[in-house]
Amino acid sequence: MRHVRHAVILAGGSGTRLWPASRRGRPKQLLPLGPDGETLIAAALERARGVAGDNVLIVTGEDMVAATHDAVPGVPVIAEPVGRNTAPAIGLAAATIAARDPDARLVVLPADQHVRDRAGLVALLARGLDELEHHDVIGTIGIRPTRPETGFGYLEIAAGAPGPVMPVVRFVEKPDRATAERYVASGHYLWNGGMFFARAQRLLRELDTHVPAIGAGVRSIVGGAAASEIYAGLPSISIDHAVMERAQGVVTIPADVGWDDIGSWAAVAELLAARGPTVAVDGSDNFVLTDDDTLVATIGVSDLVIVKAGNALLVVPKHAAQRVREVVDAVTAQGLLKYL
Amino acid sequence: MRHVRHAVILAGGSGTRLWPASRRGRPKQLLPLGPDGETLIAAALERARGVAGDNVLIVTGEDMVAATHDAVPGVPVIAEPVGRNTAPAIGLAAATIAARDPDARLVVLPADQHVRDRAGLVALLARGLDELEHHDVIGTIGIRPTRPETGFGYLEIAAGAPGPVMPVVRFVEKPDRATAERYVASGHYLWNGGMFFARAQRLLRELDTHVPAIGAGVRSIVGGAAASEIYAGLPSISIDHAVMERAQGVVTIPADVGWDDIGSWAAVAELLAARGPTVAVDGSDNFVLTDDDTLVATIGVSDLVIVKAGNALLVVPKHAAQRVREVVDAVTAQGLLKYL
């Protein structure tokens, strides 16, 4: 008998990197940046359903539950009372699922990513869950790198390992440019895309081993204790630091599915066409996005990101797009909260 | 007995150079770009009233009459059925005034200029009207140049002429940069600011002499003929070309009153502070104007003009601000009339 397959969508996020489109209570997964104009979380839900049918559970911040329900109606949501990074969120989801289905196999998918080849990714995730029928591994989807990206973590795989499921030699943090170039050239490094597969019980055991407070905390919440009291006391730590870098027998399935992180407006500009009416005189390669019918006219400027969303407008060169947080910080410091 | 003093405000304009704030039916004189946030035409009205009390007449396009009444309530307005440049407009105003007051002395003021020292200008205009009590001259206010501007016409005055009322040697068209620099260095050239003083009858006689169709046309309109039929048939010509460059005995009064034309967003940026909430991270000298409460955030950009007005947004370097017309042309060519 094949065990029931589950998918967990991680839908946290603070809404700063894609400001002003993303806001407090409207982080990027709720933006209509999917390939067909759907929200990113709706696109993630399609991937999740492709591998788990209706057994999908979303974890999101308490203040985003209503907006998440609006974006993907009918999908069960559990709320983080406060943000505590991915390890407690995944732990809470795993404990919730394991309480109903102790043999559950699950995949974990971030809600805010771009995947061009959905069917290809779904097939690899299904392959990962198949692997769990035979081996109690912890697995990750390793993205074949297409550029020497310094904004991602990498996985090292053994030279010459047979596929498709390969042992991970080690996880490495975001490298500098020269290191990233070496990684990509070697062919033995993959991007850590933040997508995992494991049995729910195995994830909980790993948390018990490496960060026992999280394992105990999420079990007690599922057992009936007040999440509002317990969750805030859990360590804020990523699943990478808490489990993946420490666990034994971590495997990966290399993927070449047109995956990308949507970490800045520059990334959006790479993935999407401009949205909204535009007129450009001279200049080129500006990325323009408006959430209403505002015409954006440019003369003699190039490589700019111009985003008009709600009551705010952002103008930034693509190469500086990762600095949006500085604007959000400045707006916060000036107390202009209605713009956040 | 001193004759009654009149002022004519020329309030034409097509609304392209300050797009998207200016629009069809809302040219720049109707924008709140005055020193205290009033419209430019309201600021012009203050200057006109300073010299002519309530004897002020506005000439504007037929499609702007209602908006003009809204901006400066209670001021008489005569409408140009179509735009025919300044000579027919001034002629129509002069004929209208002369029909009621054959001895009228008048000043002509554009509606869309910046004047820092209003009292100083009013005093010079009054001095011009005083001159008309003794000499039937045609006069212009000559602006002491503060930069080698290539966007204005110039007046040459005779070296060593006693002031304040001086003969004009000649009018010259917009010069190239080197010529403009020579003009400014010489001290014998003034900017043609488009402000005139003359007896109404003298203006009409000059039109009769140099462009008889205009003299006859505006008189027949004032006599009761249908302006809609006659006005469109008049030559489209500026008062400079029609009269000032050809008439005998043209004089000027040099002025140093903080005058400037508002011919582009770059000029506005020189004269006004930014309007609207802004947050700038790095970068400097951006000019930002919004007509609502939109926050404009910039990162690492400098010397840009960023204007959000109504349903359109413009981003252009200051040095290219005179190219806004190209955007308007492109928008027109694409048939996106709701943005014009």
Do A65 and A17 have their domain in common?
yes
Q: Under a CB-based contact definition with an 8 Å cutoff, are residues A278 and B262 in contact?
A: no
Tell me the C-alpha distance between B59 and B126, whole Å.
21
- Cβ–Cβ below 8 Å for A299 and B316: yes
Q: Which of residues 9-28 of A touch B (CB under 8 A)?
A: 20
Q: Quick check: A274 contacting B, CB < 8 Å?
A: no
Closest CA to A250 of A197, A291, A211: A197
Mutate which of B17, B265, B278, B281 to disrupt the A interface (most A C-beta within 10 Å)? Answer: B281
Query: Given this model, what pLDDT does residue A103 score?
Result: 95
Partner residue opposite A295 with nearest CB, options B306, B323, B336: B336
Tell me the C-alpha distance between A40 and A262, whole Å.
10
Q: What is the pTM of this model?
A: 0.85
Helix (H), strand (E), coil (C) string for chain A = CCCCEEEEEEECCCCCCCCCCCECCECHHHCCCCCCCCCHHHHHHHHHHHHHCCCEEEEEEHHHHHHHHHHCCCCCEEEECCCCCHHHHHHHHHHHHHHHCCCCEEEEEECCEEECCHHHHHHHHHHHHHHHHHCCCEEEEEECCCCCCCCCCEEEECCCCCCCCEEEEEEECCCCHHHHHHHHHHCCEEEEEEEEEEEHHHHHHHHHHHCHHHHHHHHHHHCCCCHHHHHHHCCCCCHHHHHHCCCCCEEEEEECCCEEECCCHHHHHHHCCCECCEEEECCCCCEEEECCCCEEEEECCCCEEEEEECCEEEEEEHHHHHHHHHHHHHHHHCCCHHHC
The b-or-e profile of A167-178 (16+ CB within 10 A means b, else e) is ebbebeeebeee
SS3 B11: strand
- Cβ–Cβ below 8 Å for B299 and A331: no
Mutate which of A295, A296, A319 to disrupt the B interface (most B C-beta within 10 Å)? Answer: A295
Residue in the structure block whose two tokens are 């170039």:
A181
Query: Given this model, what pLDDT does residue A319 score?
Result: 94
Tens-level pLDDT at each residue, chain A (340 residues): 578 999 999 998 777 899 999 998 789 999 988 878 899 999 999 999 999 999 999 999 999 999 999 999 999 999 999 999 999 999 999 999 999 999 999 999 999 999 999 999 999 999 999 999 999 999 999 999 999 999 899 999 988 888 899 999 999 999 999 999 999 999 999 999 999 999 999 999 999 999 999 999 999 999 999 999 999 999 999 999 999 999 999 999 999 999 998 889 998 998 888 788 999 999 999 999 998 899 999 999 999 999 999 999 999 999 999 999 999 999 999 999 999 9
Q: For B201, which DSSP code?
A: H
List beta partners, residue B140.
Answer: B196, B252
Chain B residue with Cα closest to A291: B311
Mutate which of B288, B315, B327 to disrupt the A interface (most A C-beta within 10 Å)? Answer: B315
Q: Quick check: A325 contacting B, CB < 8 Å?
A: no
Distance from CA of B17 to the nearest CA of A (A): 13
Tell me the C-alpha distance between B274 and B265, whole Å.
11
Q: What is the ipTM of this complex?
A: 0.85
Q: Quick check: A339 contacting B, CB < 8 Å?
A: yes
Do A272 and A219 have their domain in common?
no
Q: Which residues of A touch B301 (CB under 8 A)?
A: 304, 315-317
Query: Given this model, what pLDDT does residue A1 score?
Result: 58
Do B238 and B283 have their domain in common?
no
Closest CA to B205 of B98, B326, B321: B98
Do A130 and A100 have their domain in common?
yes
Do A220 and A301 have their domain in common?
no
Q: Quick check: A313 contacting B, CB < 8 Å?
A: yes
- Cβ–Cβ below 8 Å for A331 and B293: no
Query: Given this model, what pLDDT does residue A330 score?
Result: 95
Q: Cα dihedral angle (B77, B79, B85, B86), rounded to 10 degrees?
A: -30
Domain boundary among B239, B263, B287: B263
Do B141 and B240 have their domain in common?
yes
A63: left (phi over 0), alpha (psi -120 to 50) or beta: alpha
Query: Given this model, what pLDDT does residue A327 score?
Result: 95
Domain enclosing residue A237, as ranges: 5-261
- Cβ–Cβ below 8 Å for B300 and A317: yes
Q: What are phi and psi of A301, to 5 degrees?
A: -125, 150
Query: Given this model, what pLDDT does residue B80 score?
Result: 95
Burial of residue B26 (number of CB atoms within 10 Å: 0-12, 13-18, 19+): buried
Tokens of B127: 């001095």
Q: Under a CB-based contact definition with an 8 Å cutoff, are residues A244 and A138 in contact?
A: yes
Amino acid at B190: L
Tell me the C-alpha distance between A203 and B130, whole Å.
95
Distance from CA of A267 to the nearest CA of B (A): 17
Q: Quick check: B323 contacting A, CB < 8 Å?
A: yes
Query: Given this model, what pLDDT does residue A221 score?
Result: 97
Do B42 and B102 have their domain in common?
yes
Tell me the C-alpha distance between A182 and B297, whole Å.
37
Q: Which residues of B touch A334 (CB under 8 A)?
A: 279
Rounded to a whole number of angstroms, the CA Rg of chain A reads 20
B181: left (phi over 0), alpha (psi -120 to 50) or beta: alpha
Q: Is the peptide bond before A32 cis (omega within 30 degrees of 0)?
A: no
Do A194 and A300 have their domain in common?
no
Structurally, chain A folds into a number of domains equal to 2
List beta partners, residue B297.
Answer: A314, B279
CA atoms within 13 A on the CB side of A217: 23
Domain boundary among A261, A296, A329: A261
Distance from CA of A301 to the nearest CA of B (A): 7
Mutate which of A17, A18, A275, A279 to disrupt the B interface (most B C-beta within 10 Å)? Answer: A279
Q: Under a CB-based contact definition with an 8 Å cutoff, are residues B230 and B164 in contact?
A: no
Query: Given this model, what pLDDT does residue B152 score?
Result: 92
Residues of chain B with pLDDT under 50: none
Chain A residue with Cα closest to B330: A279
Condensed to tens digits (0 to 9), the pLDDT of residues B114-140 reads 999 999 999 999 999 999 999 999 999
- Cβ–Cβ below 8 Å for A315 and B296: yes
Condensed to tens digits (0 to 9), the pLDDT of residues B29-47 reads 999 888 788 999 999 999 9
Helix (H), strand (E), coil (C) string for A311-325 = CEEEEEEHHHHHHHH
CA atoms within 13 A on the CB side of B251: 22
Amino acid at A285: D
Domain boundary among B240, B263, B286: B263
Query: Given this model, what pLDDT does residue A159 score?
Result: 81
A199: left (phi over 0), alpha (psi -120 to 50) or beta: beta
SS3 B94: helix
Do A176 and A309 have their domain in common?
no
Partner residue opposite A313 with nearest CB, options B295, B300, B336: B295
Query: Given this model, what pLDDT does residue A22 score?
Result: 92
Give the CATH number for residue A139. 3.90.550.10
Do A233 and A291 have their domain in common?
no
Tokens of A268: 């959006």
Do B98 and B224 have their domain in common?
yes
Residue in the structure block whose two tokens are 């910046």:
B114
Beta strand A56-61 pairing with A5-11: parallel
Distance from CA of B301 to the nearest CA of A (A): 7
Distance from CA of A308 to the nearest CA of B (A): 9
- Cβ–Cβ below 8 Å for A323 and B20: no
List beta partners, residue B313.
Answer: A296, B308
Do A100 and A171 have their domain in common?
yes
Tell me the C-alpha distance between A190 and A140, whole Å.
10
Tell me the C-alpha distance between A219 and A227, whole Å.
10
Tokens of A70: 């609006």
H or E stretch covering B57: strand B56-61
